Structure 1
Amino acid sequence: NSKVGLLVFIAILLHKVPEGFTVASIMLASGRSARKARIASLAIGAATIAGVVTVAILRTRVNAAVAYALPFSAGVTLYVAASDLIPEVNHKEEKNPIVSIVVFVGVALFYLLHQLIDL
């Protein structure tokens, strides 16, 4: 479905920018050079593009697999967020409601995008 594809594209695009910053920050914090940090961030972006191109080329062959892979991927993401990330943030000494607000804003953004695409 092209509507689902567009939503997934937007989600991946929004996710990759902070992921690149995270990878670069970790590389720099571990003493690597800025050049190596840029290369690592570019490698992640290139791997994403390679995955998109591969799926586009093999589109007819992967349609059946997508029916199983997409729900599995969504389930893993929800499990990691619910069991590891959100509780870890909430266990800090200083309670900050901004984290919960940002999570709900993200869910609302995805819902609004879904509604806009269905118009």
Structure 2
Amino acid sequence: MNVWIPALLSVLVVSVISLVGIIAIALREKTLYKLLVILVSFSAGALLGDSFFHLLPRAVGNSGSFAFNISFFVLIGILSFFVLEKVVLWRHCHHLLDEGAECKVHTSKPFATMNLIGDGVHNLLDGLVIGGSYAVNFGLGLTTTLAVIFHEIPQEIGDFGVLVAGGYSRGRALLFNFLTAITSFVGVVIALLLTSSIANFTIFLVPFTAGGFIYIAASDLIPELHKQTPTVKKVLIELLSFSLGIVLLWLLIFIE
């Protein structure tokens, strides 16, 4: 199968997900908060599930063993996403999980604009990892796309809130969110061109992607869940959603 078609269709779906921010308008704050708790928990599980059930096993399969280069490229992925977050001020801003609290100190228009730039870079990376995964095989491309989508939904809702709080109208916030999402097409084209012209490029890209996903789940999503006041009900909901994300990606092993 021509990998270009499913890869481009996948990033198209991911780009359309950017419009999900409109949900922030339609739902009451309390309902939105409860929804985000479930989505963030689920996406954390899905990202870790994709990393440990699909990406890392594929990286080991490509190398023949869990060689030093796999560990090294995973750490490079973690470090790269850390630097990106620090330098570009990329914030997923799931701060609605702060039990209704607004994005303190992050509601200025300059920050909202910087958030757009960071999102553009982030979406370009989404395209890179999706394209690189499809270059390995269709199953890995599909599972990686699903993991990205599950993460994008709560992120885009948060980003929409940042833009509106920063002075953008709702229409302009949706438009600019969508425009930054289109950079994922640039990423997928770069990935597919590199994998077709550079031998063994996926040996780097697959564990790099795993490292990036592990970083997002462990340092961005999971800490957000600790910001709210814990109750037995909330913890059980988070645990169930987190586990469902992991289980879903485990089940997808059978289609890869």
TM over 0.5: yes
Residue identity in the other structure for 1:112 = L
Residue of structure 1 equivalent to 2:206: 70
Flag the 1:30–1:63 CA change in 2: closer, same or farther, 3 A.
Answer: farther
Flag the 1:18–1:44 CA change in 2: closer, same or farther, 3 A.
farther
TM-score (norm 2): 0.40
Q: Distance in 2 between matches of 1:23 and 1:10?
A: 20
CA distance in 2 between counterparts of 1:24 and 1:107 reads 27
Maintained 8 Å contact 1:28/1:34: yes
Amino acid across the alignment from 1:105: L
The aligned amino acid for 1:61 is S
State the secondary structure of the residue aligned to 2:200.
Answer: helix
Match of 2:238 in 1: 99
Aligned ranges for residues 37-48 of structure 1 at < 5 Å? 37-48=173-184
C-alpha spacing 1:59/1:14, structure 2 compared with 1 (3 Å): same
Shift of 1:84: 4.6
TM-score by length of 1: 0.76
What is the root-mean-square deviation in Å for CA atoms of aligned residues?
A: 2.4
Q: 1:20 aligns with which of 151, 156, 159?
A: 156
Given residue 113 of structure 1, which amino acid in structure 2 is its aligned partner? L
Given residue 12 of structure 1, which amino acid in structure 2 is its aligned partner? Answer: V
The answer to whether structure 1 residue 85 and structure 2 residue 221 are counterparts is: yes
Displacement of 1:108: 0.7
Structure-2 change in CA distance of 1:8 and 1:59 (3 Å): same
After alignment, is 102-111 or 43-52 more displaced? 43-52
Which residue of structure 2 lines up, in the alignment, with residue 7 of structure 1? 143
Deviates most, 6-15 or 25-34: 6-15
Q: How much has 1:71 moved relative to structure 2? A: 1.2
Richer in helix (by share): 1
What SS class does the counterpart of residue 167 from structure 2 fall into?
coil
Q: Provide the aligned length of Structure 1 versus Structure 2.
A: 117
Deviates more, 1:101-110 or 1:70-79: 70-79
Encode CA deviations 1:47-96: one digit per residue, 9 max, x unaligned: 11221133234431256232122212312322342245324423532331
Unmatched runs of 5 consecutive residues or more in structure 2: 1-135
Change (3 A) 1:11 1:44: farther
Report % sequence identity: 27
For 1:19 and 1:57, the matched residues in 2 are separated by 28
Question: What is the SS of the residue equivalent to 1:93?
Answer: coil
Cα distance in 2 for residues equivalent to 1:75 and 1:114: 19
Between the aligned partners of 2:220 and 2:191, the Cα distance in structure 1 is 30
1:17 to 1:90, Cα distance in 2 relative to 1, 3 A: closer
Matched with 1:108 is 247
